[in-house]
Amino acid sequence: MLSYSIRRILMLIPVLLGMSIVVFSIIRAIPGDPALTILGEKASAKAIADLREVLGLNNPWYIQYFDYLKQIITGDLGVSLHTGASIAKEIGPYLAATTELTIFSMCFAVFIGVNAGIISAWKQNSWFDYTAMLIALIGVSMPIFWLGLMEQWFFAQELKWLPSVGRDNPRDPVQAITHFYIVDTILAGRWDQFRDVVEHLILPGIALGTIPMAIIARITRSSMLEVMRADYVRTARAKGMAQFGVVYKHALKNAMIPVLTVIGLQTGLLLGGAVLTETIFGWPGVGRYIYTAIGNRDYPVIQSGILVIATIFVLINLLVDLLYAYIDPRIKYR
């Protein structure tokens, strides 16, 4: 297991190197001049030329890339062209916001999706099975932006149950310590703020978690149906074990390998693909951070943001691979 983990971590290096090359090349193809974006349309040609020289934009592309690569190797993500701030410090709060939203969304998706899939397989061809799979089909097909807007209209505007935008109450902001607001409110002992933060999480969390929930439900059902036909499940039933124990104790663990794969992939996708949800709900996450950087032609921010997300995605896949052996002891790594 240890040697396998080391090999997988070493494989991370060429993957991220290739990712940095691709992202660097694509970003340089974006039309527009960062110096002109920073200084504005009324800036003089000399001012623009001077700023391009200071930012190193006049250097050949390969020199710009190797300068950026040297920064990454030393742990420096560079400096934002737009704000002049260190990206490593600037991206932290945004990444924490997206991570908190992703964890909440995946908890919702996994809890509802796995249990819906299990019960659908358990009660195959029943009204629950047909209803759950119909809802899963609708969930996969439903655009996130439409669902988010409908949630805001119904739960925030009409019923006034939940807030529609932001991470906390602007009149009583959370004192950021870790930038994970749920953790920060617990550390501060502010249970009123804790409730407010959770309420702000519900609508964007459900909107973001709907598609993963539907996918997980369908995969869980398919995997459970296959496992429940196995000999050891029939043996457990023949011994008189209750159906609940057969399903949750024996069948579920052996059906979790494909489900776990989907959970890992969806978690990585949510970390990097929450731009629509963050925009609709005014969520200050890394998706909006990168989206704003694209509009500002802020190359270092775009490159570093995508590289951070890619690193997290690969690490999640590594964690999923290692969990395979824990869930199914028959899987051995050498």
Q: CB-hemisphere CA count at 13 Å for 106? A: 19
Q: What is the pLDDT of residue 147?
A: 86
Among 47-61, 134-148, 224-238, top mean pLDDT goes to 134-148
Task: Tell me what the mean pLDDT of segment 29-33 comes to.
Answer: 67
Q: What is the pLDDT of residue 329?
A: 63
Q: Which of 7-21, 26-40, 123-137, 283-297 has the lowest mean pLDDT?
A: 26-40
Residue 231 scores a pLDDT above 80: no
Q: What is the pLDDT of residue 68?
A: 75
- Full residue range of the structural domain in which residue 102 is found: 95-327
Q: What is the pLDDT of residue 195?
A: 92
Q: What is the pLDDT of residue 104?
A: 92
| Integer angstrom CA distances of residue 318 from 4, 19, 187 | 10, 17, 31
Q: Which of 58-62, 150-154, 165-169, 254-258 has the lowest mean pLDDT?
A: 58-62
Residue 31 scores a pLDDT above 70: no
Strand partners, 79: 86
Within a domain: 30: no
Task: Tell me what the mean pLDDT of segment 247-271 comes to.
Answer: 81
What share of the chain in percent tops pLDDT 90?
A: 8
- Look at the chain and report how many structural domains it folds into: 1
Q: What is the pLDDT of residue 111?
A: 92
Task: Tell me what the mean pLDDT of segment 220-241 comes to.
Answer: 80
pLDDT in tens, 176-211: 888 898 998 999 888 988 999 999 999 999 988 888
Within a domain: 82: no
pLDDT band at 333 (very low <50, low <70, confident <90, very high): low
Q: What is the pLDDT of residue 280?
A: 85
120 or 242: which carries more pLDDT confidence?
120
Instruction: Residue 259: give its domain's CATH number.
Output: 1.10.3720.10
Within a domain: 40: no
Mean pLDDT of the chain: 81
Q: What is the pLDDT of residue 194?
A: 92
DSSP 3-state of 44: coil
Within a domain: 39: no
Within a domain: 216: yes
Among 44-53, 67-76, 263-272, 319-328, top mean pLDDT goes to 263-272
Task: Tell me what the mean pLDDT of segment 122-139 comes to.
Answer: 85
Q: What is the pLDDT of residue 202?
A: 92
Cα separation, 58 vs 53, in Å, equals 6
pLDDT band at 108 (very low <50, low <70, confident <90, very high): very high
The tokens for 13 are: 């290096």
Within a domain: 152: yes
> DSSP assignment of 83-131, as one string?
T--BHHHHHHHHHHHHHHHHHHHHHHHHHHHHHHHHHHHHTTTSHHHHH
Within a domain: 175: yes
Give residues with Cβ within 8 angstroms of 49, minimum separation 6.
Answer: 35
Torsion of CA 145, 112, 285, 143, to 10 degrees: -10
Within a domain: 142: yes
Q: What is the pLDDT of residue 273?
A: 60
